[in-house]
Structure 1
């Protein structure tokens, strides 16, 4: 993750005019318009090429506003302020951002564009939409003279069966596409290379340049690193990659999961975030100071201080699901303490690289994040650190799992909700409406889980209880 992608930015991408030509010539006949929902999924419509040519898509296409007020199973629970039966579940607009337009090589004659969620009456961004939330933080950064560069590392499990077969078995006895720890193991990687090679090629052809792929620390687990770029493009690529990988897997007969901890016996899947601040011309990494300790500039120190101070308040977006918290365990390759260290994989925050490559790696985030929200949380906390000139605590060397006296990562969604709701800083960074909306959604998720009797409970208490 040391490079930027100025030289490959255009590969696989299209302009609106190029799309119009491709539709007229019959090379494209389907245009996908997608928004990002609360869970980080793509939702939208498939438009015919003819309708695209005739319609005024610059204005946007309608969708029901309930899409930003559902749970993971697309239920529409009461209690959201923005969408409810009293308000009639009206429409918002998905307004295409044509800079995200890309050809989708794994789908026949198809292009896709990501869209911002806007009000039809005013044309303004809807505050609670994930892409709007990230854009707000990026504007704050630009107003202070910062250009933010980011990248995601994505870990996932590949299953040697389909989503349907796993569902029909009740999500038990799932067969991974591997039989042993394949971390960097090229021999085991070769077994699934026909799939992963196709993924790397397809993604690059669709404007999502991949740095590398590798086996990860459990059977069937793999990691793909996306090229470092500006924060909004990085989040756009993250969700497009995740969605596309699942589509390719479906076509090839594999199920892919980005659950943080699919099985308590397996290594958790991370979604590490890398970040650095640059000047507006992208000439200087503002985190780098050759005369400073660890080459960390004052800007970097204060940004790091903010991230560390407010991580617990914002953990809801770093670990958004019930399952997310199963990943945090000692000596698991996932952190348990909010400490920083230079190139130390036991710490929650790792400082890596040097000079133009100097950056912060957030190792708390899991593969199940919504990147727009996790990015926004990290940026917002860091900017607060710069504004308040927050100094981070001293570097923790050695085994960070054995740290005493430093804050720990919240151990459950319950705990994360409590930090979120009790934080004035969350409301300051995100606004009261966003803070309420996502806090309420988290409480609904917790309530849904609490109402279910699990197989574990029956096995433990049915006879002996």
Structure 2
């Protein structure tokens, strides 16, 4: 199978050879839905080989118009009963073709969502949204390098066991805070090593893993790359370690705040701006006295900071996302920047070719295509408008006064989004309207539910 044993990445000819040799018997074609999940089909390798599938495979367009539970709420322009819930096409991006080492004789390729007749990208699809912003950057002469840091909780229960227990009395895989603690992490190293090694074998290079700031919480750092490659790695990593956990009788969650007593799980995003040849980090200026931040870096950061409230729905996409934002919680509450300060929403790190900034607002529950797209769109707007960021915040940002705060509830983020001309301008009205409706559906679903907390509080005393 060629050189894929080292990287996991295949070309189409290597895939065909592996199929003929019996080394691959299943080919997965996957798209990313609005919630950041992989959806698709498992094809027999023989069928795949005979039909080529150059143009992809069909799927029902409702996959980009569901809620988290796969219900089909009314109100979407493209997907509804009046239009018959027709088909779109998943067109493989062959640069993403790879072996999946934790599944037997299996390869996977990610696909773009396209119109069956025209072959044009469907603009509301998450990968399409990111590709539009990448093209805008390239038209301006820029390339983006990005990377994700993902935190998650590991449990000694299966998903089925947790479901049967009503998502109560879950057993985190540990019994004390394991932040950087090698002894506690050793207890779960058999599964963590699979996460790292299987991912690297499948072409998703992992830099490191470490214990995080609560019982059973862990973090994995994925190697940086261009924006699209990093977003692809992000969704495949999340999907993959869930599958590995299922095989070993564990479960993981990327929920932003699984329990109000626990530390939230972040999905920090690192970003830097490069020339088209990716030879020069345009964020770095040796002559700048402000941490060597170039004018482009200041303006990019200024745009991201100015428009963070507008784009918060892409940084915090679920009702639960907002419960992560709390004082002294390792998750920020203020839209400020600092040099190497973990209480700030944006942290400047690195130097020279490594100079970049980290978005600490984003949680582990983000859809990376959408969060990346929002950062790029806002940052490029900052460059075009020459938006200067506010002065650096020094000290404990949890106590910051007279600074812009991150929207604290989903309905506030919906208001920012719906009233934002910038969102409509940069993403397009169709995308803005589609994802506003998705957020309203999510908020309304939450508002209708009576929780166990409410019963315990009001049943007798209310």
Normalising by the smaller structure, the TM-score range is over 0.9
- Please give the alpha-carbon distance, in whole angstroms, between the structure 1 residues aligned to 2:459 and 2:111: 50
Q: How far is 1:15 from its partner? A: 0.4
The answer to whether structure 1 residue 215 and structure 2 residue 211 are counterparts is yes
4+ aligned runs moved over 4 Å, structure 1: none
Could you say which residue in structure 2 is the equivalent of 1:309? 306
SS at match of 1:294: coil
Q: Contact (CA 8 Å) 1:9, 1:207: kept in 2 or not?
A: no
Could you say which residue in structure 1 is the equivalent of 2:409? 412
The answer to whether structure 1 residue 390 and structure 2 residue 378 are counterparts is no
Could you say which residue in structure 2 is the equivalent of 1:446? 443
Q: How far is 1:56 from its partner? A: 3.5
Relative distance call for 1:125 and 1:9 in structure 2 (3 A) is farther
- Please give the alpha-carbon distance, in whole angstroms, between the structure 2 residues aligned to 1:133 and 1:281: 23
Per the normalisation by structure 1, the TM-score is 0.98
Could you say which residue in structure 1 is the equivalent of 2:16? 20
Could you say which residue in structure 2 is the equivalent of 1:171? 167
Could you say which residue in structure 1 is the equivalent of 2:333? 336
Q: Contact (CA 8 Å) 2:343, 2:397: kept in 1 or not?
A: yes
Could you say which residue in structure 2 is the equivalent of 1:5? none
Q: How far is 1:10 from its partner? A: 7.4
The answer to whether structure 1 residue 428 and structure 2 residue 425 are counterparts is yes
- Please give the alpha-carbon distance, in whole angstroms, between the structure 2 residues aligned to 1:197 and 1:9: 17
- Please give the alpha-carbon distance, in whole angstroms, between the structure 1 residues aligned to 2:42 and 2:357: 38
Equivalent residues in 2 for 1:161-240, closer than 5 Å: 161-240=157-236
SS at match of 2:210: strand
Equivalent residues in 2 for 1:67-78, closer than 5 Å: 67-78=63-74
Q: How far is 1:294 from its partner? A: 1.1
The answer to whether structure 1 residue 129 and structure 2 residue 125 are counterparts is yes
Q: How far is 1:198 from its partner? A: 1.2
Q: How far is 1:9 from its partner? A: 12
Could you say which residue in structure 1 is the equivalent of 2:249? 253
Q: Contact (CA 8 Å) 2:199, 2:205: kept in 1 or not?
A: yes
Q: Contact (CA 8 Å) 2:284, 2:294: kept in 1 or not?
A: yes
Of 50, 53, 59, the match for 1:57:
53
Deviations 1:283-334, CA, capped at 9 Å, x for gaps: 1100000111210000000000000000000000000000000000010000
Could you say which residue in structure 1 is the equivalent of 2:434? 437
Deviations 1:219-261, CA, capped at 9 Å, x for gaps: 0000000001100000000000000000000000001000000
- Please give the alpha-carbon distance, in whole angstroms, between the structure 1 residues aligned to 2:284 and 2:335: 22
Could you say which residue in structure 2 is the equivalent of 1:44? 40
Could you say which residue in structure 2 is the equivalent of 1:81? 77
The answer to whether structure 1 residue 322 and structure 2 residue 306 are counterparts is no
- Please give the alpha-carbon distance, in whole angstroms, between the structure 2 residues aligned to 1:378 and 1:76: 29
Relative distance call for 1:286 and 1:9 in structure 2 (3 A) is farther
- Please give the alpha-carbon distance, in whole angstroms, between the structure 2 residues aligned to 1:436 and 1:83: 13
- Please give the alpha-carbon distance, in whole angstroms, between the structure 2 residues aligned to 1:413 and 1:400: 22
Q: Contact (CA 8 Å) 2:5, 2:201: kept in 1 or not?
A: no
Structure 1 segments unaligned to the other structure (5+ residues): 1-7
Q: How far is 1:385 from its partner? A: 0.3
Structure 2 segments unaligned to the other structure (5+ residues): none
- Please give the alpha-carbon distance, in whole angstroms, between the structure 2 residues aligned to 1:189 and 1:16: 39
Q: How far is 1:31 from its partner? A: 0.1
RMSD (Å), alpha carbons: 1.1
Q: Contact (CA 8 Å) 1:97, 1:116: kept in 2 or not?
A: yes
Of 446, 461, 464, the match for 2:458:
461
Equivalent residues in 2 for 1:376-387, closer than 5 Å: 376-387=373-384
**How many residues are matched?**
459
Of 290, 293, 296, the match for 1:296:
293
The answer to whether structure 1 residue 94 and structure 2 residue 90 are counterparts is yes
Equivalent residues in 2 for 1:97-108, closer than 5 Å: 97-108=93-104
